[in-house]
Amino acid sequence: MSISVINNQHKNRLGKIIGIYLLLSAAAVAVDQIYGLFSHGVDSAAMTWMFLYPLLGGAFYYFIFGKLIPDLAQRPGFRLLLNLHSSGIGTLTAASFLQGVFEIAGTDSPHLTYYYGIGIVFIIAGFVILAGICQNRSFNSGKPGPKEEQP
């Protein structure tokens, strides 16, 4: 397989991931707007701004790191990074949604702490994997590393 084909596959893969996150951001905005129709004019910052998690934490994150590490998607460990980081973003977005629901209703829940905590743990774990990916030399040395499954 030629390098240009590999590079195109990499770009396509990252582009697909970024596109999914952009869709999720749009979905978060839609959820906030639709929920607002039924909340008797009450709003919540947590609900309003929850789209920032997939937008900044997802689309922007992979866009930046895709530029900094051009072959990021091809490196060993990328699947694990993607899984951990996405789990963190998903959990934080869910926490923000629930917090918004509770604030609009005027109630609370002790469970929210666990959502935010687990989300942050996943994000940190993702950064640890990312650091490991950056130090992976097997790909840079020209030797083929473990083949990453294509989505």
Partner 1 sequence: MFKFLAKPYRWAILYSVVLIAAMAFTLLDTFVLPKALAAVPKASTSTRTDPSSEEIFPDNPEDSEESSSEPVITENSYEDENIKITIETIRKHNTTIYVADIRVSDPSYLKTAFADNVYGRNITAKTSDIAEENNAIFAINGDFYGFRDAGYVLRNGVAYRDTARSRDNDALVIDADGNFSVVSEGEISLDKLSDMGAWQVFSFGPALVVDGELTVDSSSEVTRSMASNPRTAIGQISPLHYIAIVSDGRTRESAGLSLLELAQEFLERGCTIAYNLDGGGSSTMYFNGEVINKPTSGKRISERAVSDIVYIGY
Q: Can you give the binding site for partner 1, defined by CB under 8 A?
A: 40-44, 79-80, 83, 86-87, 90-91, 94, 97-98, 101-112, 115, 149-151
Residues across the chain? 151
Identity of the residue, 69 or 112, whose beta carbon is nearer to partner 1 in the bound complex: 112
Rounded alpha-carbon distances, angstroms, from residue 123 to 26, 53, 66: 21, 11, 17
Closest distance to partner 1 from the beta carbon of 97 (Å):
8
Closest distance to partner 1 from the beta carbon of 7 (Å):
20
Rounded alpha-carbon distances, angstroms, from residue 127 to 22, 81, 88, 135: 21, 8, 11, 12
Short-list 52, 123, 116, CA closest to 82: 123
Identity of the residue, 42 or 67, whose beta carbon is nearer to partner 1 in the bound complex: 42
Identity of the residue, 40 or 68, whose beta carbon is nearer to partner 1 in the bound complex: 40
Closest distance to partner 1 from the beta carbon of 42 (Å):
5
Closest distance to partner 1 from the beta carbon of 109 (Å):
5
Identity of the residue, 18 or 98, whose beta carbon is nearer to partner 1 in the bound complex: 98
DSSP one-letter code for 148: P
Tokens of 64: 């930046």
DSSP one-letter code for 69: S
Short-list 57, 134, 143, 141, CA closest to 93: 57
Closest distance to partner 1 from the beta carbon of 56 (Å):
20
Identity of the residue, 44 or 74, whose beta carbon is nearer to partner 1 in the bound complex: 44
